A and B are shown apart, each in its own frame.
Chain A
Amino acid sequence: MLIFEQSRKGRVNPSQSPQSRPEMADIPASFHRVTRAILPETSEMQTVRHYTRLSQKNFSIDTHFYPLGSCTMKYNPRASNTLSMLPGLLARHPLAPDSMGQGFMACMYDLQEILKDVTGMKSVSLTPAAGAQGEFAGMAMIRAYHEAKKDDDRTEVLIPDAAHGTNPATAVMCGYKVREIPTDSQGDVDLEALKEVVGPQTAGLMLTNPSTLGVFERQIEEIARIVHEAGGLLYYDGANLNAILGKVRPGDMGFDVIHMNLHKTFSTPHGGGGPGAGPVGVNECLEPFLPVPMVACNGDEYSWVTKKEKPQTIGRLSAFMGNAGVLLRAYIYARLLGREGMTRVAEYSTLNANYMMVLCKQQGFDLAYPDRRATHEFIVTLKRQAKDLGVNTMDFAKRLLDYGFHAPTTYFPLLVAECLLIEPTETEDKDTLDAFIDALARIKVESEENAGYVKGAPYTLPVRRLDDVRAARELDLVWKEKA
């Protein structure tokens, strides 16, 4: 039942809003709202009960294992939430003067320094509000760099076909044409194909490493050389940074600009689809173009860096400084881990993924790249099951929900047919991984014995499979009172 269907005319929560209704005679009537907006009229208890019940219809990390490839669904420490919600931090106005923000700015400055070190970049701006905005900032900097050099013929961005959809979408937002590069049979970039398309029209290459195929791009140094020799720059999509945290740094691989997804690698909550934070890091050549604001430290005093101090900046990306509360959570997480903990992130997420990959193989599943090490994630392809049994990846995914596991990422990357991209993260224990593999194996048996049953899943959730076609065809986006 919707909250609106629990409304009764005239029901109010008098303690939640001011007691008086002052007049507004000074505002001419032509500006007034005439008909009231339809909002719920429910008691505090009804509201609390309604949204508590809704919350119980969700899977979440706090309640379920979430091996969602490329999304890094690891445990979100509660300390990060509690401490970032301290009253002094919540009440701070974004336009308060530097003198009333030294505590907060110290945290932001420290975070910039930590991110610089773990990525091997020269300078970091925290302001992008999400990974996609970080990507946008990164590509806009590449464009600003070429423009500053009057190198105006660079109109193309190279992107491997395994990339996230945000990469090509971002390149287009920055006014570039996209050229796809194929992947070879072992999951590495096809170097010959790259050499053919790279040239004076190349603005840059966007790469995720480890790639979305769950393998490390072994020829990265060669790729960097090819792109740099052609005058292009190298962009690092930080989606899979968790796999190499404290082991390898994008800066050392030759990347000129990177974005990080703090909601993945630095364990800030996904919140049902955001907010995230997508800080960008750059080497010397792009430093002048970083988005503002940033935090500077002079002695023991912190100040904001704006366009005044950074005249070549690509500019602002939001009204204020970005998703401060997310950045605070990431900072607290980084302090809890420390430098030893950072390295362990890569180690144990990789251990968990390789362990699961071997178990999958033992259970008779096909791996997309059986000859490669897994990074922090790996791909199972259910092509055989789809062909032989008529049970596809979506069916497996939905049936897993019945077993109490969130499904892995399905049908991504697009290169591998019927794929499950599985990322366990470092925070899951061995028993949970075993139980998940056990469920996968059982679904395989179910598929062999009664494919129709698996295709009907899920059975135990608040709803069965939903009619997506109808949702798009008969758009119902806003509830309306029945006449």
Chain B
Amino acid sequence: MPFIPHTEEEVKQMLDTIGAGSIDELFDEIPSSLRHDKLAGVPVQTTEMEVSRIISERAARDGQPLCFLGAGAYEHHIPAAVWELTTRGEFYTAYTPYQAEASQGTLQLLYEYQTMMANLNGLDVSNASLYDGASALAEAILMAVRLNRKSKSRRVYMPRTVHPNYRKTVETIVHNQGITLELLDYDRTTGCISPDTLPAAPGDFAALVIPQPNFFGALEDVDALTDWAHVHKGLAIAVVNPVSLAILKPPGEWGGEGADIACGEGQPLGIPLSSGGPYYGLLCCKQAYVRQMPGRIIGRTVDLEGKPGFTLTLQAREQHIRRSRATSNICTNQGLMITASTIHMSLLGAEGLERVALNCHANTRKLIERLSSLDGVEVVFENPFFHEVVIRLAAPLGEVMRALHVQNLLPGYELADDYPELENCLLVCATETRTDEDIETYVGHLQRILGKHEPVKCPIKPKWQVKN
């Protein structure tokens, strides 16, 4: 029997001990009208060899395309040691560290993670992670609303330059709590929120969300935005890519006082793309706000002999203690992903992470220089960027995308669904894993495909690219 060790003899002994005639008798408290054991919709048992074959064939079918697609999930090199260590049974099959003495490995690792993540963000504290970047933003917003005891406003300013799927996730999670999200439009020239266009008298609000880099890869004027939030008595919530923090100003240093809460997607730090998960959400904040933070937090303390050790702390915030008055219903963190990320950051160090970030940026610069040298390709926004850029094609994008997919290449993310004003626009990205040759492959295919097209009538420099 798969994964069941019992011999017939043992089953008999156990039933005798219980005083039952059969295993079935153990279910005698369940009304017989409810019994159902057909399971016609479940395939019959297969061996490991047979399952290996099924999964291997399916895995191979999806190919391994040349990837210029980012949009919130990025292909980076992951050192071999990261997952070799992470999948050790002692990490992989351990439970939540509720029994601290039997979980010092996981707990110390999480404390080290909190230190690394807080340092990267330039903030005082980090929790031990949430599900992913999008749900972390939702939790950051709920946290900001709880912290806003003065005005009790449930209004939050949300730029359109925040990842569209993050905005949708936030909407799902917060809308039953009477929180309203006020969208801020971006400047069509820069692809960023222009601080001049923010309301001069916004009234009561809980927080302003500030993405850096934003969904278009453009760098927002984070100092001015953070200061604006603080002047008007709101909190500043940063949404960041942790790899960018190796070279970009960390949220804790934005504006005069620094962002109050930072969140983001941890995937770029050692987590494979794997169809979107499991990833993890990072969440950091200033010390003063730690008691409103959701999720697990690990603290260092001492044992009864005075020896240092680690334990879950501030548990009075959590659902298993506080039930309906908890800061969140969250029960798990993404422990195994944090294990990978912590080892990843240890292996790279600050120097390695800077090199990764610099190379990503340099490769993307190369990519857009080469792509925009083609007829019918232009860069849409005039603004400093990190590692991702919007380009516009003078051809119907859908067809071009399909033609590139046939070449086993992922050309980028099509923006028009979420941004109707960005028709035929593509968000492209080249991480440190792309070589000059990869870039030339993309350029070559695109040139050939565009060459077959009569340029569409839409002007290369659209009219709305006048600063409004």
Contact code string B286-303 (vs A, CB < 8 Å = 1, else 0)? 010010000011111111
B105 an interface residue at 8 Å Cβ cutoff? yes
Q: Can you name the residue of chain A whose Cβ is closest to the Cβ of B336?
A: A271
- When C-beta atoms are compared, the residue in chain A nearest to B58 turns out to be A103
A452 within 8 A of B: no
Residue A326 at the B interface, CB < 8 A? Answer: yes
The smallest C-beta distance from A279 to any residue of chain B, in angstroms, reads 13
Q: How many whole Å from A173's CB to the nearest CB in chain B? A: 5
- CB <8 Å contact, B95 and A348: no
| Contact A427–B176 (Cβ < 8 Å) | no
Known: A91-B67, A324-B278, A358-B18. 6 other contacts (CB 8 A): A100-B410, A220-B34, A271-B339, A344-B1, A468-B301, A479-B115
Residues in B neighbouring A355, C-beta threshold 8 A = 14, 17-18
Residues of B within 8 Å of A48, CB to CB, are 81, 85
Q: Tell me the residues in window 22-39 of chain B with beta carbons closer than 8 Å to chain A beta carbons.
A: 23-24, 26-31, 33-39
Which of B48, B95, B168 is in CB contact (< 8 Å) with A316?
A: B168
Residues of A within 8 A of B132 (CB): 129, 318-320
How many CB-defined contacts (below 8 Å) exist between A and B? 681
**When the two chains form their complex, are residues B99 and A406 in contact, meaning their CB atoms are under 8 A apart?**
yes
Asked if A20 is at the interface of the complex by the 8 Å CB criterion, the answer is yes
Chain B, 375-432, CB within 8 A of any chain A CB: 384, 386, 401, 405, 410, 413, 432
Contacts of A317 in B (CB 8 A): 135, 169, 172-173
Quick one: CB contact mask for A301-330 with B, threshold 8 Å, 1 for yes?
000000100000011111111111110100
- CB B175 to nearest CB in A, in angstroms, measures 8
Docked CA distance A351–B4 (Å): 12
Are the C-beta atoms of A54 and B384 separated by less than 8 Å?
Answer: no
| CB closest residue in chain B, given A61 | B93
Contact B301 A466 (CB under 8 A): yes
Alpha-carbon distance A382/B12, docked complex (angstroms): 30
Q: Is A185 an interface residue (CB 8 A)?
A: no
Give chain A nearest CB distance to B397 CB in angstroms. 13
Complex interface: chain A residues within 8 A of B69 (CB) = 93, 95-96
Question: CB-CB < 8 A to A462: which residues of B?
Answer: 101, 104, 309
User: How many chain-B residues does the 8 Å CB contact rule pick out?
Assistant: 200
Q: Are A316's CB and B39's CB within 8 A?
A: no
Which of A191-199, A227-235, A243-251, A439-447 forms part of the interface with chain B? A243-251
Residues of A with C-beta under 8 A to B200: none
A373 to chain B, nearest CB (A): 5
B335 at the interface (CB under 8 A from A): yes
Q: In the complex, A479 Cα to B20 Cα: how many Å? A: 57
Query: Can you list 12 A-B pairs with a CB-CB distance of less than 8 A?
Result: A38-B115, A41-B351, A62-B90, A64-B102, A79-B48, A166-B329, A274-B278, A319-B163, A319-B165, A348-B1, A475-B299, A477-B125
Chain B nearest CB, measured from A255 CB (Å): 11
- Contact residues in B for A470 (Cβ distance below 8 Å): 301-302
- Closest Cβ of chain B to A169, distance in Å, is 4
Q: Which of B41, B62, B72, B319 contacts A165 (CB 8 A)?
A: B319
CB-CB under 8 A for A273 and B112, given A55-B88, A100-B405: no
Whether A87 pairs with B59 at a CB distance below 8 angstroms is yes
Interface segment, one of A280-288, A334-342, A384-392: A334-342
Identify which of A23, A83, A175 gathers the most chain B CB atoms within 10 Å of its CB. Answer: A83
Q: Let me know if B437 is at the binding interface, CB within 8 A.
A: no
Q: How far is the CB of B150 from chain A (nearest CB, A)?
A: 22
A315 to B168, CA, bound (A): 7
8 Å CB contacts to B: which residues of A435-477? 456, 458, 461-468, 470-472, 474-477
User: Which A residues lie within 8 Å of B13 (CB)?
Assistant: 430
Of the listed residues B36, B118, B249, B314, the one surrounded by the most CB atoms of chain A closer than 10 A to its CB is B36
A33 touches B249 (CB 8 A): yes
- Identify the stretch in B227-235, B353-361, B439-447, B456-464 within 8 Å (CB) of chain A at 4 or more residues: B353-361
Residue-wise interface mask of A (378-398) relative to B, using a CB-CB cutoff of 8 A (1 in contact, 0 not): 000000000000000000011
The yes or no answer to A401 lying at the interface (CB within 8 A) is yes
Chain B residues whose CB sits within 8 angstroms of the CB of A246 once the complex forms: 37, 39
Contact B324 A430, beta carbon cutoff 8 Å: no
Inter-subunit contact B332/A351 (CB<8 Å): no
Contact A71 B41 (CB under 8 A): no
B275 contacts the other chain (CB 8 A):
yes
CB atoms of B119 and A39 under 8 A apart: yes
A363 interface residue (CB < 8 Å to B): no
Chain B residues with CB under 8 Å of A416's CB are none
Q: Is B201 an interface residue (CB 8 A)?
A: no
Closest Cβ of chain A: how far from B462's Cβ, in Å? 24
- B33 neighbours in A (Cβ, 8 Å): 221
Contact with B along A1-32 (1 / 0, CB 8 A): 01110000001110011111111101110111
Instruction: State A290–B73 Cα separation when bound (angstroms).
Output: 25
Output the least CB separation between B58 and chain A (Å): 3
Given A58-B103, A68-B95, A429-B5, do A12 and B336 touch, yes or no (CB 8 Å)? no
- CA distance in complex: A430, B8 (Å): 12
Q: Do B83 and A428 have beta carbons less than 8 Å apart?
A: no
Question: When chains A and B are docked, how far (Å) is the Cα of A323 from the Cα of B278?
Answer: 4
A313 to chain B: closest CB distance in Å?
9
Cβ contacts under 8 Å, A91 to chain B:
64, 67, 75, 272-273
Does chain A have a CB within 8 A of B346? yes
CB distance from A58 to the nearest CB of B (A): 4
Chain A positions 254-287 with a Cβ under 8 Å from a chain B Cβ = 267, 269-276
- Comparing B49-57, B180-188, B202-210, the segment that makes contact with chain A is B49-57
